[in-house]
Structure 1
Amino acid sequence: MEKKALLIIDVQVGMFIDDFPVHNGKQLLENIKQLISKARTTNTPIFFIQHNEPAGQQLEYGSKDWEIHPELLPSEVDMIIHKTTPDSFYNTPLEEELKKHSINQLVLTGIQTDLCVDTTTRRAFSMNYGLTLVSDAHSTYDSGDLIAQQIINHHNQVLSFFANTKKTSEIEF
């Protein structure tokens, strides 16, 4: 039997700073809010993955930038998983919590496409989870060679070997 969960990776205040904001941040937040609403109407579990960095870093644990973006505040029933690497499973209770809820299908969203979203997608695939990457609900930043949209497009194409790719409007829970 298929049991889904929504994963929201690293959508934290510090990813939206004015002088270096995540690509298409307003639309990203709107799409994730739509997914949260859909998930909540079907009682689908929602997992917020929150990146923790050491003192002095952008996402320093407990800092304002570290907080989950206020437009996506978790409810009391949502799970918050803390991580310190791009892999949402590595040294975290994520797998244990997914098993506890008998979840075998993951709907993936978040930041950064080319780091934490990519790594978590590949890891979940190797752990035999069924995966859907929401193609318009993950984002990143321009790099020295590529603009963010090129990175997103590339990862949507490459990660389609590991996950189904669907737009927000196509997701059902």
Structure 2
Amino acid sequence: MNNTALLIIDVQQGMFVEDNPVFNGEQLLANIGQLSDYARSHEIPIFYIQHTEPAGRELEKGSPAWLIHPHITPTASDIVIEKTTPDSFHQTELHQELQKRNIEHLLLTGIQSDVCVDTTCRRAFSLGYKSTLLTDAHSTWGSSELTAQQIIDHHNQVLRWFAITKETKDAIYKEK
């Protein structure tokens, strides 16, 4: 397990606004919380990826929406990486920080299934990481064409080419 890290992508307060919350947000937070507890008890490093937008935008650095959701607040030992694009690796220190810790396997969670989670999963594959996408620990919003659940299901299917797919319970209790 010492070569594994948990990535929590863009689980920020702005994703849970009352008038347009991320799909199934309470369950998402519960699953990520379970994964975080598991990671901490198994000394798996946790990386929080935090999306930052330019001044005047919703996820402007320091704004309430930009803050990591309080139900999964990082501890002093966790690593927070800021990004400005959907790719958690692009122009960030993520790859270098993972390499410093000899991380080879990533547990992927977060928001948005069809943007940042998808892009980060594919990029991790291209960089040679083995990844596990937690199928019930990422989420998004519906569109005029597809429901959020359809988008999540589609990405769980497509990203199987780039990652192992597992539910949270199967990742946590695999040793028992």
TM range (shorter): over 0.9
In structure 2, the partner of 1:54 is: 54
In structure 1, the partner of 2:24 is: 24
Following superposition, the deviation at residue 10 of structure 1 comes to: 0.1
- Contact kept in structure 1, 2:2 and 2:44, CA below 8 Å: no
Paired residues in the alignment total 173
In structure 2, the partner of 1:70 is: 70
Matched residues in 1 for 2:141 and 2:58: separation?
15
Alignment of 1:1-173 (within 5 A): 3-172=3-172
Counting aligned pairs with the same residue, the percent is 60
Please list every run of 5 or more consecutive structure 2 residues that lacks an aligned counterpart in the other structure: none
AA partner of residue 84 (structure 1)? T
- Contact kept in structure 1, 2:125 and 2:131, CA below 8 Å: yes
Matched residues in 2 for 1:52 and 1:91: separation?
13
Please list every run of 5 or more consecutive structure 1 residues that lacks an aligned counterpart in the other structure: none
Per-residue CA distance 1:123-160 (angstroms, 9 max, x = gap):
00000100000000000001121110000000000001
Poorly superposed stretches of 4+, deviation over 4 Å: none
Per-residue CA distance 1:97-138 (angstroms, 9 max, x = gap):
000000000000000000000000000000010000000000
User: TM-score, with normalisation over the residues of structure 1?
Assistant: 0.98
Matched residues in 2 for 1:158 and 1:2: separation?
28
